[in-house]
Chain A
């Protein structure tokens, strides 16, 4: 509530107290001022009660916001930790597959090259392979 930003909480409790006190002592006030005092004090009481409720509601919301902020901070830290774990896995797996590919290529260079001259690759085979490889 915007009014709570400009005035301290105690102001409304003082207002409420003045209202109650004023209503109690209004019996002893001369009748000329009695109505005005009672009206003012009634306003103070109603407004004070209303604002006390508003303060309580506002404080509850502030507490909820703080709780949610703490949860979000914890979630962000957890998310960051999870990301680090995933990155580590990605790096390890990538290296594994690259190494595996290099091993196979070394094997090809060592063993398969022996059959290069004995095995003729038909152009249809190459065409079929390239068609499948290109997006």
Chain B
């Protein structure tokens, strides 16, 4: 029985090392367009006419909707990436 102690001591000195060399990359953003910051809204000149006001308001609405497209894209991106990631983890 005492002979069994020698290999047991040796084995306890070997030890175990379990490394998991699996690296998952962070998902890429959905294109360069969504990485651009939303621009500053246009303001009016002091001598602006009615048509200038209308144009500026229109341009600002367009900016808003263009920016909303980016936000919506990020929301969709997050939802889909989360779903993909959860599929891997399961």
List residues of B whose CB falls within 8 A of some A CB. 3-4, 6-8, 10-11, 14-18, 20-22, 24-25, 27-31, 33-34, 40-46, 48-51, 53-62, 65-66, 69-70, 72-73, 76-77, 80-81, 84-85, 87-88
The residue of chain B having its C-beta at the shortest distance from the C-beta of A39 within the complex is B3
Let me know if A129 is at the binding interface, CB within 8 A. yes
**A interface residues, how many (CB within 8 angstroms):** 54
Q: Whole-angstrom distance from the CB of B1 to the nearest CB of chain A? A: 9
* 30 intermolecular pairs with C-beta atoms under 8 Å apart: A1-B17, A43-B6, A43-B7, A46-B11, A65-B20, A68-B20, A68-B88, A71-B87, A72-B22, A72-B24, A78-B84, A80-B28, A83-B28, A83-B31, A87-B31, A89-B76, A90-B73, A93-B69, A94-B33, A105-B58, A108-B51, A115-B51, A116-B50, A121-B53, A126-B46, A126-B53, A129-B53, A129-B57, A130-B43, A133-B60
The residue of chain B having its C-beta at the shortest distance from the C-beta of A123 within the complex is B46
